[in-house]
Amino acid sequence: MGDNYSTYLLDIEGTICPISFVKDTLFPYFTNRVLELVQQDSRDSSISEILSQFHIDDKQKLQAHILNLVAKDVKDPILKQLQGYVWADGYESGQIKAPIYVDAIDFMKRKKRIFIYSSGSVKAQRLLFGYVKDPKAPEHDSLDLTTYIDGYFDINTSGKKTEPQSYANILRDIGANASEVLFLSDNPLELDAAATVGMATGLAIRPGNAPVPNTQKYQVFKNLEDL
């Protein structure tokens, strides 16, 4: 089924990683740090610089604004930048490991020309794939899958994931013909946008994902062993 494709563009949440990971692990880790970040931002110039981009001087209002963005899952580029910075601490300290599906790990090792496109920042993506829970090793061990990835795209580099132009931008950047690329995602709106520019698409159906109506419209993958 996958022999016709030279290049694979992969979504993360709900496609190669449980959708619950972000909401149950990453978001709480971040929100538990927001008060500390806002109150003590002067100690870290990198955090101060990111926070200043919100243009909110009142610290209580700034904290409330950030938490509101997280609660509503707003794809805000400044928020994504701040989250990536905070999550780096969690990954590097061993408190966070990404539970990438075993079939996705095998897939990434088997295939060439793998690219990632997520609404999470490129920094956050690199961290996620750099600290993957190893399904075949003790709890404290982690896998580094970054060596299997040829590039990363996010809303800052390419645009929103539901807009066709974003996929045209990615095709330009990776130098591929649309028909050679298979884009895998759990979001039909993203698949429709990618199909508009001629990409082949596949709908990921994983445990915990929201039900998708009219699945017959899509090539469906419950795992990646068939590719």
Question: Which residues sit in the known binding site for substrate?
Answer: 118-119, 161
* Rounded-to-integer distance, Cα 9 and Cα 163, Å: 15
Q: Which residues are annotated as a binding site?
A: 11, 13, 118-119, 161, 186
Q: Which residues are annotated as a binding site for Mg(2+)?
A: 11, 13, 186
Place of tokens 């013909």: 177
* Rounded-to-integer distance, Cα 90 and Cα 80, Å: 15
Residues 6+ away with beta carbon under 8 Å from 13 = 19, 21, 22, 118, 186
How many residues can be counted in the chain? 227
* C-alpha R_g of the chain: 18
φ, ψ of residue 120 in degrees (nearest 5): -70, 150
